[in-house]
Structure 1
């Protein structure tokens, strides 16, 4: 099961800045496996992988203290990642052509979340690993917010 958190200490350039983090298990649910494989279709930055917003994004919703993050991906990059599109009937509210591949929820401090960076850091690995583990084989994938209309 994907684990969602809002925490500081993730961005080495701004260690006090909160970041929405998601840990997906590459052997987990179909959605987790699809998100984990998206890393192969990212471009590399300074210790991070960037998923192009033309491929997919993370949608955040905060209702009281309940934070929901939906990962939306267009069908073509999802198919290139080897995902079975039939497994994902949901659609993005930002763009109905994009497929919802994963939803994660957690309780979050609204004040901490309000200071969080707009991008979501996705870490891939076994659920028992720390969500901010730092290794060359586990660069976070950064997902931007949805594209603007």
Structure 2
């Protein structure tokens, strides 16, 4: 099962801003396996992998002290990862064509949720791997997901 953490100090542009960090198990659920394979659809830069916002993104929801972070991906991108879109019945809140492939939640104080950076960082590791080990200099490059794309304009 995916784990969700919220950590500050991860965004060099905003070091005080808390960042949502999802950790997926490469041998876990179909969603976790799909997220691992999304790395092959990313582009590299500054020791991170970027998923293009038109392919997929991170969605945040906060209610009753719980932060939920979901990863939404378009079906064509899932097919490129050899994942079946049929395995993912949940739809994105932003774009009903996109599928939610992974979701995790954690208890978060309201003042932290108010300052949370948009998007998310994704790491792939065995469930027993401590987050600090994943974030250290010997860890794999994280995948960075942007927030949802802007809604298309309404056509008259």
Partner of 1:35: 35
Partner of 1:116: 116
Do the aligned residues in 1 keep the contact of 2:59 with 2:119 (CA within 8 Å)?
no
> What is the Cα-based RMSD across aligned positions, in Å?
1.6
With structure 2 as the length reference, what TM-score do the two structures score?
0.88
Partner of 1:138: 140
Runs of 4+ residues deviating >4 angstroms: none
Shift of 1:105: 1.0
Residue ranges of structure 1 left out of the alignment (5+ in a row):
none
With structure 1 as the length reference, what TM-score do the two structures score?
0.92
Residue ranges of structure 2 left out of the alignment (5+ in a row):
152-156
**Alignment length, in residue pairs?**
149
Do the aligned residues in 2 keep the contact of 1:5 with 1:108 (CA within 8 Å)?
no
SS at match of 1:78: helix
Partner of 1:66: 66
C-alpha deviations, 1:54-95, integer Å up to 9, x for none? Answer: 100111000031111111100111110111121112211211
Do the aligned residues in 2 keep the contact of 1:55 with 1:73 (CA within 8 Å)?
yes
* Cα distance change, pair 120–30 in 1 and its aligned pair in 2 (3 A): same
Shift of 1:17: 2.6
Do the aligned residues in 2 keep the contact of 1:49 with 1:141 (CA within 8 Å)?
yes
